[in-house]
A and B are shown apart, each in its own frame.
Chain A
Amino acid sequence: MAEQSYTEQEFKVVGSRVRRPDGVDKVTGRARYGADAFAPGQLVGRILRSPHAHAKIKKIDISRAEKMKGVKAVITCDDLPDLTGGRGPNFDILVNCMARGTALYHGHAVAAVAAVDEPTARKALKAIKVEYKALPHVTDVDAAMAEDAPIVQPGVEHDGKPSNIVNVSQFGHGDVDAGFAEADVIIEKSYRTEQTHQGYIEPHACLASVGPDGDGELWVTTQGHFTFRNVCAQLLGMDIAKLKVTSSEIGGGFGGKTHVWMEPVALALSRKANRPVKLVMGRDEVFMGSGPTCSTSMDVKIGAKRDGTITAGQATLRYQDGPFPGPWGMLGAMTSWACYDLPNVQAVAYDVLVNRPKVAAYRAPSAPMAAFAVESTMDLVAAEIGMDPVDFRLQNVAKEGSKAAYGPTYGPIGIEATLRAVKNHPHMKAKLGKNQGRGMACGFWFNFGGQTCTDLNIGVDGTVNLTMGTVDVGGARASMSLIAAEELGIPYEKVKCNVGDTSSLGHNDTTEGSRGTFSSGMATIFAARAAIDVLKARAALMWEIDVDDIEWKDGAAHAKGIEHSNLAPLTLAEIAKKSPQTGGPIAGHNEVVADGAGVSFASHICDVEVDPETGKTKILRYTVVQDAGKAIHPDYVEGQFQGAAAQGIGWALNEEYVYGEDGRLQNPSFLDYRIPVCSDLPFIDTEILEIPNPNHPYGIRGVGETSIVPPLAAIAGAVSNAVGVRLDHTPMSPPRVLKAIREANGR
């Protein structure tokens, strides 16, 4: 679409660091998040979860709980019949929100209650008697692929035999065997990454209300209220139009709130109790029952000439998906080699079922693990041929016109620019002390676009309501207001941006894949341009001239041509004021499938110090360089870079799901699932590069995800340079680092 194409322009407000419109509410405690809603007569919902990793549910006796005073509803899977058309689309979501005959992981929901208060709800859960028969379980991805592994989902077959392997994906081109035959140096290494969680500070929370007429409302913390509406309506057997879903302020998502977890349960409880039900997960439930990312096991092999040219790259990736199939291994394979232009390349991925929670998207899902393996091996090859790791990457870097291993041929991309920025960065030249080391690594993410619908309404005083349908996860309302102000030519302060509920806009895809600013930005531009067309038409009426004689600039209609030189420009506010007399309200609307999201690249530099006696790693300095296409609000672009890097640092150093022999999750708390605290991190320096995306009027690329990809390998490189041990297993926790040091010293 030509109008989607990038046009170079000088921006007036886009790119400025304005205050966010939702800021005051958020610093005064007024902003309402998932758990902050109240409805008259609301009940407290709670979910009973399986204590077993894998068990047959023989019997659930809810009779005692149902009879308790103050208990208004008790439900099991019987209250959520399969309306998907017989194990149809979204059946996995139904099974995950309430076990059907089998508990598939520790923490799998088996029943739920709604009661008048919290103590009563807790007592009611205790009164539910579940008879389990424990089944053999498997939580490790390699063990799950073994011949004699317990089968997680009967019916899954691989090579004609019952298996936990649900999908095998392969990408690449050329002839890797021939490529390795040409190589002077071949490095092959295996890696593991443990399971991590998005760790949003706000637990899942919703307030569901289904009336006697069957119509419903759902207030929920989500990244995609339209998707939640569609899924919940289907699973509950409701008409889509009769379920209104409002996205609350969202307290972090990072992909974890793109998935429906417990909302159908809340709606089913409300329907049964005939009262509103508030359902809020505890932190332990968030860890046990809402999706973490995959743990993985990976092998990577790279062959290169002595001159630094890579002749072949091959990766075998094993990703566990929890008990339901996902695209996770496939995404790992697609992203693994995306930074490089390789003649012979292959990535094979296995998606494997285990008895762990259903895996969810987590910021550039699947890319950080594959990058850990590939980038670490890149370092090893560079070291083996005696080349600087940045130069080695530059020599093989993907450029415009390169064919990516996952298929497409790249347009203008930023990986080379980020590497050159890293090479010239003062950080690269800073001195290091004893037990200190530096590492660097690259990362890639696709970015997405998708269905988007935006409304722009102009008030009679010339102020603008912008209603967007993607969720504001961290500053999007500021960015959208900047874009609307830019297009209309009015001050930023004259625009008020809101996130519309599902009854106020057409469908918007979930806010994922770094699509918010790209796609809603595009729809906002088009909606504003549609409104400008109306404004021009109204000015034509007011002036009684032909609309073709009018142009819009600097927030006003200007009459063109010498014959109209007596007509002073009509500002937006002046036209709006007259709108009741010139045809009524002035609005612009746009619906679009925003294609052409530009791919994104980042390169990071990291310095660490390792205590050789305890194996503890301290991050001394960290620099992110990433291509943003166009930074609409630079503060929030930097914020995305910094936040993504911090999550990557946590993943690299300390975060992991720990399972016991019994298949139970041992650390479902912020005490023992250790995300970085303020004193763990230095300031995170950022450098925003702007290589315009040709498929967006402003050149925007998504910026939210890419920078979680490089930290694992960058830190592994830094640790290696600090104390001489190369960690191949994340997190690089003190016990693992100390063990590696001990082994390297022959102890």
Chain B
Amino acid sequence: MRYEAPSSSKEAAKLLASAKGKAVVLAGGTDLLVRMKSGAVEPDLIVDIKRIGATQEIKKSGNGFKIGAGVSGARLGKHRALKKAWPGVVEATNLIGSDQIQGRCTMAGNLCNASPAADSVPAMVAANAKANVVGPGGRRTVAVEKIPTGPGKTSLKKGEIIESITLPAKAPRSGDAYLRFIPRTEMDIAVVSAGVNLTLDSKGVVKKARVALGAVAPTVLLVEDAAKAIVGTKLDDDALAALAAACEAACRPIDDMRGTIEFRTEVAGVLARRAALTAYERAGGKK
């Protein structure tokens, strides 16, 4: 086993691409170290990307925010402008684990761990976030929902790392929200979750919507029917019922120790409804 902490993304990509045996990327480590402890992964090479400058920055520009892959949840939560623009994404990331976990966990790591229950992912998908990937072949930008391909699997190729995540500039009269269900008040993995991002017209009618669900399918779902159910409405009761129904219809969950199929399905609709109302209010909509 070898540990490397390169200072550039290019160097990291090179190390990973040329590695013999199992090579892993270490960002926050809150998933990787657990997997190493259990023996689920026994890496030959660990590439720590936190000494790469670009992974440590939160950059604001006309195009939105670029958030480095090594930025911890705790740092994200202290960034005022980001919180104001994307409260749902920040809240979602801040829901990952305890304060201790927040000190380490990252959005990019949460994405690359490729768990369908990852808290930050439905919020990022709803926000239309993009992953900035660096690899031996150069750079590419990918919609975040294209990164996980199944539980624990990603579309990243050998040698590729996510250097940062881009959140678009906040549109006028828009708002996002994320809710998850856990049995306790903290420390659990989401049993089911929903991220909603809405843009309203000047009259408070939903103009655009993105609705994403977590822990109800092998990957986070972007539910277009759910968005359709509320576009053109002011989130009246019928629209909310249609939203919940569309979400329930989209669910393909499993029964496991964390929840049942019927529970996940029913609560997915409940959470989408509640998150939509919060997003609506954040977008300036008045009920």
Contacts and interface: CB of A to CB of B under 8 A. Distances in A.
Contact of A674 (B38, B184, B260, B263): B184
Given A666-B257, A667-B257, A733 B270 contact: no
Given A677-B184, A677-B187, A672 B267 contact: no
Given A667-B257, A734-B263, A735-B260, A674 B188 contact: yes
Contacts of A671: 187-189
Contacts of A615: 263
B263 A738 contact: yes
Interface in B169-216: 181, 183-189, 191
Contacts of A739: 260, 262-263
A133 to B, nearest CB: 24
Nearest to B39: A122
A735 B259 contact: yes
Nearest to A618: B185
A733 B257 contact: no
A interface: dominant SS:
loop
A742 B260 CA distance: 14
A616 interface: yes
Contact of A654 (B37, B184, B186, B270): B184
Contact of B186 (A122, A284, A677): A677
A680 B185 contact: yes
Interface in A659-673: 666-667, 671-672
Contacts of A504: none
A658 B183 CA distance: 15
Interface in B98-152: none
A670 to B, nearest CB: 8
A614 interface: yes
A676 interface: yes
A674 B183 contact: yes
Contacts of B263: 615, 734-735, 738-739
Contacts of A679: 184-186
Contacts of A284: 38
Contacts of A734: 181, 183, 191, 259, 263
Interface in A607-629: 613-616
A616 B257 CA distance: 16
Contacts of B189: 671-672
Nearest to B37: A282
B281 interface: no
Interface in B245-265: 256-260, 262-263
B186 A614 contact: no
Interface in A277-318: 282, 284
Interface string B226-260: 00000000000000000000000000000011111
A144 to B, nearest CB: 21
B185 A654 contact: no
A201 to B, nearest CB: 14
Interface in A685-721: none
A676 B181 CA distance: 16
B266 interface: yes
A676 B188 CA distance: 11
A56 to B, nearest CB: 25
Contact of B257 (A282, A672, A676, A738): A672
A738 B266 contact: yes
Interface string A133-153: 000000000000000000000
Contact of B270 (A282, A614, A666): A614
B262 A677 contact: no
Given A122-B39, A739-B263, A614 B257 contact: no
Contacts of B262: 735, 739
A254 B186 CA distance: 24
Contact of A616 (B181, B258, B260): B181
A734 B191 CA distance: 10
Nearest to B187: A677
Contacts of A614: 181, 267, 270
Nearest to A617: B183
Among B37, B183, B260, B270, which residue has the most Cβ atoms of chain A within 10 A? B183
Contacts of A282: 37
A611 to B, nearest CB: 9
A677 B183 contact: no
A738 B265 CA distance: 12
Interface string A534-558: 0000000000000000000000000
Nearest to B259: A735
A616 B183 contact: yes
Contacts of B259: 734-735
A676 B187 CA distance: 10
Contacts of A653: 183
Contacts of B186: 677, 679-680
Contacts of B183: 616, 653-654, 674, 733-734
A653 B187 CA distance: 15
Contacts of B38: 284
A541 B38 CA distance: 69
Contacts of B39: 122
A453 B114 CA distance: 58
Nearest to A658: B257
Nearest to A679: B185
B43 to A, nearest CB: 13
Contacts of B188: 671, 674
A514 B87 CA distance: 50
Contacts of B266: 738, 742
Nearest to B97: A671
Nearest to A613: B270
Given A671-B189, A735-B259, A735-B263, A676 B270 contact: no
Contacts of B187: 671, 674, 677
Contacts of A667: 257
A677 B182 CA distance: 13
Nearest to B266: A738
A614 B259 CA distance: 12
Given A122-B39, A738-B263, A676 B258 contact: no
A672 to B, nearest CB: 6
Interface in A712-746: 733-735, 738-739, 742
A679 B38 CA distance: 28
19 contacts: A284-B38, A613-B267, A614-B181, A654-B183, A671-B188, A674-B183, A676-B184, A677-B185, A677-B187, A679-B185, A733-B183, A734-B181, A734-B259, A735-B260, A735-B262, A735-B263, A738-B263, A739-B262, A742-B266
Interface of A: 122, 282, 284, 613-616, 653-654, 658, 666-667, 671-672, 674, 676-677, 679-680, 733-735, 738-739, 742
Closest 6 CB pairs of A and B: A735-B263, A658-B257, A679-B185, A613-B270, A666-B257, A654-B183
Given A616-B183, A658-B257, A667-B257, 4 more contacts: A613-B270, A666-B256, A677-B184, A734-B263
